Amino acid sequence: MSITLKRSMLMLVVLLLVLALAGCQQVSDARSQFCTELRDIGARAVELKAAKVDEPITKYQSTIDSLATKRQNVNRLARLTSIESIAKLDAALDKVAQAYATVQGNVLGPAADKLASAAAELQQVYDDINTAVCAAK
């Protein structure tokens, strides 16, 4: 083999190694970001579990908005890292959004119990996914 061919082969191998390592790093970073976003969802679930009948709805609006954004991020990151347990998380987030949508007036009122119950379910799903995906790192 000529020296030029050997150098070319060596460069190709080095390039492939660099690309492989970069791909692993992206997956690792995405998984880490997934876990961060998931922890934020868990923290929001704790906030919502404490919902009281006489509290103003404005107290929880930013939490609900944050959950919608986190949901998009978690779904994107789950696709990047091939995490499959997202359907349960989506269903739990849907229940929280539906419970919040039942609020009428300026205070949570009867929707507070629905919201707290949906948040408790969300926290359980968070715990399950966090244990399976993030704690297993």
- pLDDT digits over 104-121, tens only? 888 888 888 999 999 999
List the single range of 36-45, 73-82, 94-103, 117-126 with lowest mean pLDDT.
73-82
- Domain boundary assignment for the chain: 27-134
The answer to whether the Cα torsion of 60, 61, 64, 69 is positive or negative is negative
pTM, to two decimals: 0.75
Q: What is the largest CA-CA distance in the chain?
A: 82
**Are 127 and 92 a contacting pair, CB within 8 Å?**
no
